[in-house]
Amino acid sequence: MHYIQAIVQRDVRDVAQIEQIAQMPRLLRILAEHSGQLVNYSGIGAAIGMDHITTQKYVGIFENLFLARTLQPWFSNKLKRLAKTPKVHFLDSGLLASLRDLSLDRMRAERGQFGPLLETFVFAEILKLASGMEERFEFSHVRDKQQNEVDIVIEDGRGRIVGIEVKAAASVSYSDFFGIANVGRSIRRSVCFRVCLV
């Protein structure tokens, strides 16, 4: 892909001196397969012979280029058993679709492929909206040991919280709200809503 090669040859060289620059396009493609998921730097890097420290450094370079963003886990002393691993999101859903070879026909045939793309799109759009506001927000995610999760948590400077759950579904059930409801009950101060798109 010429666009990815251009990023590596021009933009990456501008922001960092790295030893394995030839591996960057492959790393970006592997990272695309993990968009919207918890980041396992060891597992991602192992596919191309990188250790977890180098992989984390290179993902940081992609963040500096606004290609991806790691979403840190939200933490509260009232919720002890939370996953402490960040998630990674691409910031360009079009690039993500291209790297994952997601055509419209493929997404129609493999509905499961649409969910990560939708979550990435929603996250990127929320970041755009937030960047134009005077108030600053912190973005994170929540997942507990029972795999209950909230895809995106937004917290303002006064500690008010909004939880967003993104689902590529035509209908909702009680279980779709469980992660948000669980966090809300535990901290007793959240305002939560759900995004559901077909």
At position 53, the amino acid (one-letter code) is: I
pLDDT (tens, 9 = 90+) of the chain, 198 residues, equals 567 777 666 666 555 556 667 778 888 999 999 998 889 999 998 888 888 888 898 899 889 888 899 998 887 655 555 667 899 999 998 889 989 888 888 888 887 788 888 888 999 999 999 988 888 899 998 877 777 788 888 888 888 888 888 877 767 777 777 767 766 665 555 444 444 443
Query: Helix crossing, 52-64 with 24-32: angle to 10°?
Result: 80
Convert the pLDDT of each residue in 87-145 to its tens digit: 999 999 888 998 988 888 888 888 778 888 888 899 999 999 998 888 889 999 887 77
Annotated domain spans of the chain: 2-197
The distance of Cα 141 from the centroid of its chain, to the nearest Å, equals: 9
Instruction: Count Cβ atoms within 10 A of the Cβ of residue 18 and give its class: 0-12 exposed, 13-18 middle, 19 or more buried.
Output: middle
Single-letter code of the amino acid located at 96: L
Strand bridging mode 161-168 / 190-197: parallel
pLDDT at 88: 92
Q: 58 is written with which tokens?
A: 């290179």
Q: Are 101 and 84 in contact (CB under 8 A)?
A: no
Residue 180, token pair as written in the block: 């948000």
Sheet order of strands, 149-155 included: 138-143, 149-155, 161-168, 190-197
Residue 124's pLDDT is what?
92
